[in-house]
Structure 1
Amino acid sequence: MSPEVEVEVDVHTHLGEHGTHVHAPLAEHEIRAWGRVSWDVTTQEHAAAANSARTSIVLAFDAEPVGVVVPNDYVAAAVAGQDRLIGFASVNPNRPDAAARLETAVRDLGLRGLKLGPTYQHFHPHDRACLDLLEVADHYRLPVIWHQGTTFTSAAIAEYARPVQLDLAARTFPNLPMWIAHFGHPWMAECVATARRHEHFFIDVSALDTRPWQLAQALAAAYEYRIMDRILFGSDYPFSTVERTVAGLRRAAALCRRLGIAEVTDDDVDAICRRDALSRLGLRPPAPQAT
């Protein structure tokens, strides 16, 4: 991909400041794992980084059990009037007013998707409360992004994190676009095997640029199962950037070829970067800002 060509859609970016939205235990565990808190980004910093893609999806996150609450209204305010940003709500299904919260996020705040993370929000994807919330998402045609994979914080519940546990949701809501973040690492093959069964299911590549072997295995699995066209570009900003993610994809593709595990080419990487994820997810581009 030439330097002049932008990434079309970054489907996975975060806002939130340490001490305001990101607290212990997750913040402390982030320092233990990485030596610092990366989840500490202002709306201005996010907006500047988002210029590296034509459109970016910005995620709220209602994960109070692990110390993270990036509110829906905060994200809505951050994306208001921005013709390159799309805001997604997050609601913990365990909240007694979960359905009402999601309806408010859609009708009053203008948010256009739903972020769920069972391991962080302490619910199982098969829970009735989760399926009830997905009914609301289905009613409003809200694409759903799932963090269904491992995490560094011990405050998360690991047994809720396996990608195959989303098969029930995929079967129950066959017309609702969904995707699994981070290739479901370290269960990349399980993620691919789950997604390939459902045409409305996708995968993003976010946060794997620092794990070239995992990313190479993930790309190889998608290549073998013939679902390369279901891979979406995501950076997981501020944990990574668009530029680092593109470079990581190129390194992983080259590793696939060098090891002889899959013929993933630079053209395949270009296709991921140029993919019109908004159309795949049933989203319209943001409306241009009035001048």
Structure 2
Amino acid sequence: MTGRAYCDCHVNIWNEEHVLPLYNQLLGRVRAGELAPKADAETLYDEMANVEKAIVFTLRYGDAIGIEGDDATTAAAVRKYPDKFVGFAYVDPRRADCMEMLRHGIEDLGLKGAKFGPIYNGVHLADPRLEPVYEYLQKYNLPLTMHMGTTFARNAPVELGRAIHVEPIAMKYPDLTMVMAHMGHPWFDEAIVVARKQPNVWLENSALFYRPWQYYNMLVLAEEYRVADKIFFGTDFPFARVDESVAGHLAVNRLVEGTPMPKVSGETIQRILRSNPLEHWWKGDNPLQPARG
């Protein structure tokens, strides 16, 4: 099977000044030895040599994991490498100027979607502070990528990462494209059944291959529930690299070779690898067009 991804839909960007001491303190429970040393624009561009496109966004997880980035950094990377990067704004509903920052990111900086981590910011998806965010994104046909699943950070309430919380929002805002990053791990069964029921909910597989038994079960279950066509490829760079993510994805069946266990189909493996969010997440609008005046 061929091993070149089309789009990495989950790429984090930050500069050295965005890294707080807490980040290095927490790396003991992360794949610290495998992490890329930097996540600036030039590092990202070099890393993404083997993908056609990459969706990039910063993190505002200062009090959770010690990364406090800004949308200007994302926008600068897109301006420098417009043929490679599509930028998303970050949403932190705890801030009084949350909507002002979102509008600035979209309308002034030309970013094409939004990212939010409920578990990292300690804000439930049903929190009223997020309602204007959902309304704005739905109105302007902009996707929302959400970190759904657990994390290594101590200051991040686990319950807020559960994929089951996505469904009420998806039903209330049926024209809002919602993307569950990391397939809701370890609650991937919840993520899969929600994505099956709700046509505006999608999944992506970033930072999952290095738990091979869990990843294998995810894809088998996704095929059984007939939602494998709603899964997109991502890495979560710098927490996982492109080449290792591709290799791990292609080798998803290695644990069950020679056994009667079900195999993930070659069609599913290749479809995820070649998945193109630019054809699905914007409902027909081209995200590479210039920002609205």
Superposed CA RMSD: 2.0
Shift of 1:263: 3.5
Instruction: Single out whichever of 26-35 and 46-55 deviates more from structure 2.
Output: 26-35
Deviations along 1:188-230, one digit per CA (max 9) or x if unpaired, are: 1111111111112111111012110110111011011001100
Shift of 1:231: 0.5
**1:74 to 1:253, Cα distance in 2 relative to 1, 3 A:** same
Deviations along 1:217-276, one digit per CA (max 9) or x if unpaired, are: 110110110011000000111111222112111222344665545331223211111122
Deviations along 1:64-111, one digit per CA (max 9) or x if unpaired, are: 332222200110001114211100000201111111110110010000
Structure 1 stretches of at least 4 aligned residues deviating more than 6 Å after TM superposition: none
The answer for the alignment partner of 1:59 in structure 2 is 57
Q: Is 1:195 matched with 2:195?
A: yes
Q: Contact between 2:20 and 2:62, CA under 8 Å: does it hold in 1?
A: no
Counterpart Cα distance in 1 of 2:74 and 2:32:
27
Q: Contact between 1:256 and 1:264, CA under 8 Å: does it hold in 2?
A: no
**1:32 to 1:227, Cα distance in 2 relative to 1, 3 A:** closer
Counterpart Cα distance in 2 of 1:208 and 1:189:
14
**1:33 to 1:10, Cα distance in 2 relative to 1, 3 A:** closer
Shift of 1:162: 0.6
The answer for the alignment partner of 1:280 in structure 2 is 280
**1:233 to 1:115, Cα distance in 2 relative to 1, 3 A:** same
**1:105 to 1:272, Cα distance in 2 relative to 1, 3 A:** same
Q: Gaps spanning 5+ residues in structure 2: where? A: none
Q: Gaps spanning 5+ residues in structure 1: where? A: none
Counterpart Cα distance in 2 of 1:260 and 1:114:
43
Counterpart Cα distance in 2 of 1:116 and 1:268:
28
Q: Summarize the alignment of residues 253-272 of structure 1 with structure 2, pairs less than 5 Å apart.
A: 253-255=253-255, 260-272=260-272
Which AA in structure 1 matches 2:25? E
**1:259 to 1:178, Cα distance in 2 relative to 1, 3 A:** farther
The answer for the alignment partner of 2:44 in structure 1 is 46
Which AA in structure 2 matches 1:49? E
Aligned-pair identity (%): 31
The answer for the alignment partner of 1:13 in structure 2 is 11
Q: Contact between 1:12 and 1:57, CA under 8 Å: does it hold in 2?
A: yes
The answer for the alignment partner of 2:79 in structure 1 is 80
TM score, norm. by length of structure 2: 0.90
Shift of 1:12: 0.4
Q: Contact between 2:8 and 2:235, CA under 8 Å: does it hold in 1?
A: yes
Q: Report SS of the residue matched to 1:199.
A: coil
**1:131 to 1:256, Cα distance in 2 relative to 1, 3 A:** farther
Q: Contact between 2:206 and 2:236, CA under 8 Å: does it hold in 1?
A: yes
Which AA in structure 1 matches 2:8? D
Which AA in structure 2 matches 1:28? Q
**1:130 to 1:179, Cα distance in 2 relative to 1, 3 A:** same
Deviations along 1:131-175, one digit per CA (max 9) or x if unpaired, are: 221111112211011101110110212121111011111111111
Q: Contact between 1:8 and 1:53, CA under 8 Å: does it hold in 2?
A: yes
Counterpart Cα distance in 1 of 2:159 and 2:90:
21
Q: Report SS of the residue matched to 2:52.
A: strand
Q: Summarize the alignment of residues 167-246 of structure 1 with structure 2, pairs less than 5 Å apart.
A: 167-246=167-246
Q: Report SS of the residue matched to 1:65.
A: coil
